[in-house]
Amino acid sequence: MDKRPIGVFDSGLGGLTCVREIMRIMPGEDVIYFGDTGRVPYGTRERETLLKYVRQDIRFLETFDIKMIIIACGTASSAALPWISSEFGTEIIGVVEPAAKAAVKATKSKRIGVLGTSGTVKSGKYIEYIKSICPEAKVFQKACPMFVPLVENGYADKAVARLFAEEYLEEIKAQDVDTLILGCTHYPLLKPIISEIMGEDVVLIDSGAEAAGFALERLSLCDKLSHSDSGQYNYFVSDSAETFAEFGNMFLSCPIKGNIKKIDIEKY
């Protein structure tokens, strides 16, 4: 048993889709969340900048006595995790491996689509991981740079989001995939629109939720679950706490409970 919290971070609000799943499947776990809202988006940053941000995010979370870190960000998981994980003492997991495994398990036709930020798509990490466990799979990627700003600003269910989704999904739909990875943790908010366009037979894989499931597996295996009756949640952001509170409940599907505090991430 390990009562220490799990650290979770993202460039902004998207990682809350992972926290939502933690609340559902591990309701006894305490969570320290960091949303780098002052520096979102990560998806268009060059690699050196991203590595600096991710190291700072991890160093901040490590100021707490945490038992694990979940990088609840597709961009940071694919462009930084493989290179920096050995620099830190805490176990760090990302979203790529769990989502890729779930997609391989779900696909029948072995035709898998991946939606992600430009950074995620450029890294090719989803393709690499899927191919390593299912060499015969055909993987089709599409960068969707407008999805994060639309979601962060509350436009996920508006007509403008549908317009962009139709444009982005056209090529992937033409490839006749039966499974589609939402490779960015912001995208589950667009699930209704994506599902309507792709058709309900296409299985959508929620990368943040899969990462939460993988964390549960890891913690159970090492006997590190907290076994408390209810979890405590503390949120930290690098920009307005009020804005985070206002939009955060859309991601959690419930009002944010717990403190939200603004920090200066440049100090870490």
Active-site residue numbers? 73, 184
Per CB under 6 A, contacts with ligand DGL among 23-82 are 40-43, 73-75
Per CB under 6 A, contacts with ligand DGL among 239-268 are none
Binding mask 140-159 for ligand DGL (x = CB under 6 A): --------x-----------
Single residue of 7, 8, 9, 14 touching ligand DGL by CB under 6 A: 14
Single residue of 107, 185, 226, 238 touching ligand DGL by CB under 6 A: 185
Q: Is 125 in the site for ligand DGL (CB under 6 A)?
A: no
Least distance in angstroms from the C-beta of 120 to ligand DGL: 6
Closer residue to ligand DGL (CB): 40 or 225: 40
Single residue of 5, 186, 212, 248 touching ligand DGL by CB under 6 A: 186
Least distance in angstroms from the C-beta of 221 to ligand DGL: 25
Question: Which residues does 57 contact at the CB level (< 8 Å), separation at least 6?
Answer: 9, 34, 36, 76, 265, 268
Closer residue to ligand DGL (CB): 189 or 225: 189
Residue ranges that bind ligand DGL, judged by CB under 6 A: 10-12, 14, 40-43, 73-75, 117, 120, 148, 184-186
